[in-house]
């Protein structure tokens, strides 16, 4: 996307052109999470519950990898723009050092922390056994997903975003194909059960990471790998840029962990429902996140160019598209919650809980659209901390206490309403700063 188009292309067309490839990439990820969960649910509900309990740790692995990739991407883009080849090599080497360090940390988790982590959430020995099988593999072989995400960020740093669709797509297809084969033992393969889902996942990630290495070697000559030495200053700069992204994703891991504990006091079927919801809602929120990822560079460019009207137009169109995406999700969750929960082979108890839960949580979708776009606007204008505070308010300060207090009523259906309460509080916060930070920032820049 060249500078002229950023400044002149109709804002709706510009946003879609920037966002659609990102939406497609994210939907690929959502698809194979759904397929993975579907096949696990065919084993039994305990297996699906175990994978749900493992999800916060998987999310943390991805959050750390994405945040490190964001910091690496920013430093690489800066050094490439300055034609500082020595700094580019230094960033590359230290980024790969961090990939190894993070992977080793999760190997240690796999060895010593998997069992205590699961025991803190469930007393069911079958769920714990399934969870240990699954989580031990995905954490022990976290190197593959760490390397895959870093390779994709390196391609993005030089504008080769379409190549990341290749790595993600092939990794997802391999995972989807191998899931039933390894879980149920088709074509002469051993029947591995829940462990088979984990093996399929890491094989898909492994192939994607190797493909990413090849594509970087073949096309990304600007960031060629050169052996150097660890540089604490470079590592510090990577984390300075990447930590907000790590924090944002990690917040959701914390939220899921504690909500699982709250829901587990009612019934493990409620935990399974929450896991099912989290996978299906990706089809609503990942396109929304793709939209905001496209909005940020477009809005930042026109803000820097002091094009006030275009900034307002971009925000207006982004809010409209965001509302359309979430309204479609709202209708789907209200009209067909039974069909959605049926994707996960639910028990009668899980199906009944799921219908109520999906309808309650879906009421928060339109408010979430406003908040997610607003947080992207803050980032575009150089205040990512506001977005972090908004996420902290929604997920930790309001959602978890509301869920805990509502759980004291003894009514499980009340707990789901905590999502609506959290989004209402966050909307008040985001609306205030849209009025008092964003508009003042735009007007000050245009003087």
Per-residue pLDDT of 97-140, as tens digits, reads 999 999 999 999 999 999 999 999 889 999 999 999 999 999 99
Q: Categorize the per-residue pLDDT at 224 as very low, low, confident or very high, splitting at 50, 70 and 90.
A: low
Radius of gyration of the chain (CA): 22
Answer yes or no: is pLDDT of 32 > 90. Answer: no
The sign of the dihedral angle between the CA atoms of 181, 135, 289, 164 is: negative
70 Cα distance to chain centroid: 13
What is the structure's pLDDT at 321?
94
What is the structure's pLDDT at 81?
63
Contact 321, 15 (CB under 8 A): yes
The predicted model scores a pTM of 0.80
Contact 422, 395 (CB under 8 A): yes
Higher pLDDT, 378 or 189: 189
What string of DSSP letters covers 115-158? HHHHHTT---HHHHHHHHHHHHHHHHTTHHHHHHHHHHHHHHHT
Q: Directed axis angle between helix 11-41 and helix 282-304, to 10°?
A: 150
What is the structure's pLDDT at 202?
95
CA distance 240 to 249: 16
DSSP character at residue 2: -
Q: 348-357 — which CB contacts under 8 Å span 24+ positions? A: 349/267, 349/269, 350/45, 350/269, 350/272, 350/273, 350/276, 353/267, 353/269, 353/270, 353/273, 353/412, 354/273, 354/276, 354/277, 356/412, 356/413, 356/416, 357/270, 357/273, 357/274, 357/277, 357/413, 357/416
Q: What residues have CB less than 8 Å from 252, skipping those under 6 apart? A: 59, 63, 395
What is the structure's pLDDT at 378?
83
Parse the chain into domains and list their residue ranges: 1-24+266-447, 42-250
């Amino acid at each position: 996307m060249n500078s002229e188009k950023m400044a002149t292309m109709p804002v709706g067309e510009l946003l879609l052109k920037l966002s659609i490839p990102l939406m497609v990439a994210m939907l690929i990820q959502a698809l194979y999470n759904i397929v993975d969960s579907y096949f696990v649910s065919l084993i039994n509900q305990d297996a699906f519950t175990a994978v749900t309990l493992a999800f916060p740790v998987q999310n943390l692995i991805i959050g750390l990898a994405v945040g490190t990739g964001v910091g690496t991407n920013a430093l690489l883009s800066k050094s490439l723009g300055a034609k500082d080849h020595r700094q580019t090599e230094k960033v590359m080497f230290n980024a790969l050092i961090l990939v190894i360090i993070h992977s080793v940390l999760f190997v240690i988790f796999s060895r010593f922390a998997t069992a205590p982590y699961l025991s803190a959430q469930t007393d069911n020995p079958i769920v714990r056994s399934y969870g240990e099988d699954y989580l031990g593999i995905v954490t022990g072989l976290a190197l593959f997903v760490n390397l895959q995400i870093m390779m994709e960020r390196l391609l993005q740093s030089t504008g080769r975003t379409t190549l990341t669709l290749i790595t993600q797509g092939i990794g997802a297809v391999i995972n989807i194909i191998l899931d039933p084969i390894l879980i149920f033992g088709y074509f002469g393969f051993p029947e591995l059960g829940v462990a088979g889902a984990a093996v399929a996942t890491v094989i898909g990630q492994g192939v994607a990471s190797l493909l990413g290495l090849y594509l970087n070697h073949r096309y990304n000559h600007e960031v060629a790998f050169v052996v150097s030495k660890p540089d604490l200053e470079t590592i510090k700069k990577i984390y300075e840029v990447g930590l907000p992204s790590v924090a944002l994703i990690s917040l959701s891991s914390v939220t899921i962990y504690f909500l699982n504990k709250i829901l587990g006091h009612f019934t493990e079927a409620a935990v399974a429902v929450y896991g099912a919801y989290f996978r299906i809602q990706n089809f609503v929120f990942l396109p929304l996140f793709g939209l905001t990822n496209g909005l940020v560079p477009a809005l930042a460019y026109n803000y820097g160019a002091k094009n006030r009207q275009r900034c307002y137009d971009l925000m207006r169109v982004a809010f409209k598209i965001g509302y359309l995406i979430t309204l479609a999700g709202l209708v789907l969750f209200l009209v067909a919650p039974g069909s959605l929960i049926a994707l996960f082979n639910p028990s009668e108890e899980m199906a009944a809980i799921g219908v109520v839960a999906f309808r309650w949580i879906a009421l928060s979708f339109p408010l979430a659209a406003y908040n997610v776009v607003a947080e992207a606007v803050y980032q575009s204008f150089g205040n990512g901390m506001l977005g972090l505070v908004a996420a902290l308010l929604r997920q930790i300060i309001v959602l978890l206490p509301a869920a805990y207090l509502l759980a004291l009523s003894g009514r499980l259906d009340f707990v789901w309403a905590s999502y609506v309460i959290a989004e209402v509080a966050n909307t008040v916060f985001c609306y205030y700063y849209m009025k008092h930070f964003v508009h003042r920032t735009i007007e000050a820049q245009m003087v």
